[in-house]
Amino acid sequence: MATTATKHANLWAALAAARAAFEPVIKDKTAKTEKFSYRYVDLASVLDAVMPTLCANGIAVYQAPTIMGDGLVLVSKLVHTDTQQEVSDMLPLPSTSNMQQLGSAISYARRYLLMAQLGIAAGDDDDANAVNSAQRPQPARAAQTVHRTAPAQNGAQRPAQPATEPVEHASEDAPPLHQWVYDKLDGKCAKFADWSRTKHANSSGPATAAMYQYLAGVIDGITGNTTHRDVLAVLVGRPVNQDNPPGYDLVSQLLDWLPETVGKGEEKQPNPKHEAKYVPCIKALGELVLQAQGQTSLFG
């Protein structure tokens, strides 16, 4: 039997009523790769938690991939059925011909964009149960396993580290490594990552190969490990490599702020513009990447 939706004066009143009655959104799935595991919430669980309440308060949800310019975006709308007021947001989708990868990206974008629009966050099972809870699972750590190289000389790129994107997920909704690390950030490092993603999104074009190589060396010099690829992935919100580097404006800004710069003859020089406050965040990102990979750092 159909239930008549509660009438509200506008979309905001309907959203306020709905948010007060949402079911908890719990990280009830486990993703496993060859190197680490973590808990997450999938799209189906989010929809189960919010859709009955949204419908009961006269709010419809529309989500669909849409071609915009030369790219593809995920459009997500909340529509008030009584007044036709709506909130619409978009999230860029990766350019790929692999339909499985695209399907995973669409599912992932739907979940994150809807949760952001509704102002909700996923909690752990122990948050919901509050008693006799097991400790929150953390990525497995292999004892004293470190990929560490000597500092690069004269700005040379360090040995490349194999891609660390998860090999096998429990579900297409499972977050990639760079998003797992991003979700762990808080305080000034979260603000730093948010700034860097915005800077990257507004960049005029990709950085040159030389800029990317030099920045990679500087980051590895800060972290003490060859984690630059995954650190940069966190800072731009997608996998990164030399053929698909971060935006020019972001890389230029980071090179301005980090401890060393390139002088004549490609020799490293102290950077007078260096802002030390960002170095601990780069170190923290490197340590989280190692943790997610099941490695431990020699640096405390």
User: Whole domain around residue 85: which residue ranges?
Assistant: 11-127
Domain limit, last residue, from 127, 152, 186:
127
Q: Would you say residue 138 lies in a domain?
A: no
DSSP 111: H
**208 and 119 assigned to the same domain:** no
CA–CA separation, 154 and 101 (whole Å):
38
**210 and 284 assigned to the same domain:** yes
Q: Would you say residue 163 lies in a domain?
A: no
**123 and 183 assigned to the same domain:** no
CA 280 to chain centre: 19
CA–CA separation, 217 and 156 (whole Å):
7
Q: Would you say residue 17 lies in a domain?
A: yes
Close Cβ partners of 286 (under 8 Å, ≥ 6 residues apart): 219, 222, 223, 224, 225, 227, 231, 297
Q: Would you say residue 154 lies in a domain?
A: no
Query: Edge-to-edge strand order for the sheet containing 86-93?
Result: 59-68, 71-80, 86-93
Domain limit, last residue, from 110, 127, 144:
127
DSSP 162: P
Mean pLDDT in consecutive groups of 10 residues from the start of the chain, 300 residues: 75 93 83 61 89 95 90 92 92 80 84 86 54 33 31 33 36 69 87 89 85 83 82 88 85 80 57 74 88 54
> Minimal CA–CA distance to 238: which of 247, 226, 225?
247
Domain limit, last residue, from 111, 127, 143:
127
Q: Would you say residue 169 lies in a domain?
A: no
Q: Would you say residue 167 lies in a domain?
A: no
Confidence (pLDDT) at 162: 34
CATH code assigned at 117? 3.30.390
**200 and 267 assigned to the same domain:** yes
Per the structure, the count of domains in the chain is 2
Q: How distant, in Å, are the alpha carbons of 117, 179, 197 from that of 121?
A: 11, 15, 20
pTM for the full predicted model: 0.47
